[in-house]
Copies of this chain bind each other. A is one copy, B any other.
Amino acid sequence: MTDAELHRNAVVIDGLIVSKWGREIFDEMHRGGLTAANCTCSIWEGFEPSMKAIAQWKRWFRENDDILLQVYGTDDIRRAKSENKVGVILGWQNSSGFGESLDTVALYAELGLKVVQFTYSTANLAGFGCMESHDGGITDFGRDLVAALNGHRMVIDLSHVGSRTSADVVSLSAQPVTYTHCAPFSLK
């Protein structure tokens, strides 16, 4: 197999992209040969703006359906490869978008949110972030969040999460967790 064939046949998934989204970026992802990418659609936002960010993505999916499709499961990644499109995996870099009730997890699950980072550098209702002056560990809300994310088959991302909170999540989660992006502590 030549290098060119190898690249052409590979399923390439980018673990995390944050961007100023729009047709120009979507074209670059497509030209670059990405099969799928975890695209951040909430970082600091609460319930309403996070929900509306997903509404904006649904519009992008409709308006760019020549090169984009939404990924709800692994079949969609295979379909993206065979149809020469980029599969967008909707993801969050925080869990603030659920608001204060975990009943909303079911809504986001049905709309196709697949990756949820537990905290984003600072503390939130679920636990501590990696930039806090100490990590006091997971909260009871955070325990319920792990169960809800497991139950809805959403991937937990521990990037930006404090080390003790991360260890708590790893112990509690019935599913594998992920670090979509990280750097050595000594370089911090």
Contacts and interface: CB of A to CB of B under 8 A. Distances in A.
Interface of A: 47-48, 51-52, 54-56, 58-59, 62, 99, 101, 103-104, 106-107, 110-111
> Is chain A's interface secondary structure helix, strand, loop, or mixed overall?
helix
Contact of A51 (B58, B62, B107): B107
A62 B54 CA distance: 24
Nearest to A58: B106
A56 B110 contact: no
Contacts of A47: 48, 51
Contacts of A104: 51-52, 55
A147 to B, nearest CB: 13
A51 B99 CA distance: 12
Given A48-B47, A48-B48, A51-B51, A111 B103 contact: no
Contacts of A101: 52, 55
A104 B48 CA distance: 11
Contact of A55 (B55, B58, B103): B103
Contacts of A54: 107
Most chain B CB neighbours (cut-off 10 Å) among A47, A55, A104: A55
A56 B103 contact: yes
A59 B103 contact: yes
A109 to B, nearest CB: 9
A55 to B, nearest CB: 4
Nearest to A103: B55
Contact of A107 (B55, B62, B99, B106): B55
